[in-house]
Amino acid sequence: MPEFPGGKDAMNNYIISNTNYPPSAIIDSISGLLILAFVVDTNGSVTKIRILQSLREDIDNECIRMVQEMPKWKSGSTVAETKKGYYRKVIPIHYTLRLNFTLGKVEKKKGITITPKS
């Protein structure tokens, strides 16, 4: 699997620190789950970002912006076989994120919880 620089905890911290809860969504009391997917390319770049489960356009756009600004990842690879043995082959890999936008009490849910910044 591809790896965010510093690992999973660093990725979670990056997402929480760099995702802004849109003020218009706060005013309208919008909360819920957003699911997005992207590809970590062979050079570690994040490409082909798409929303799988939308929450609202302003929140969707904020999540796309945050992912576009991610640093390069460590590329994913697979083991390939040749007549002379095995070797690692760098390949593009799809990655999915679940982002829970919440205005109230933070509940333990699968995914990363985003709350308004003070």
Q: How many CB atoms lie within 10 A of CB 22?
A: 19
Structural domains of the chain, count: 1
The verdict on residue 40 lying in a domain is: yes
pTM: 0.86
Residue 107 is predicted with a pLDDT of 67
Q: How many CB atoms lie within 10 A of CB 15?
A: 20
- Using DSSP's 3-state secondary structure scheme, residue 41 falls into coil
The verdict on residue 107 lying in a domain is: yes
Residue 73 is predicted with a pLDDT of 96
Given a cut of 70, the residues of the chain with pLDDT beneath it are: 106-108
The verdict on residue 58 lying in a domain is: yes
Range of the domain at 40: 8-114
Residue 15 is predicted with a pLDDT of 97
CATH number for the domain that contains residue 50: 3.30.2420
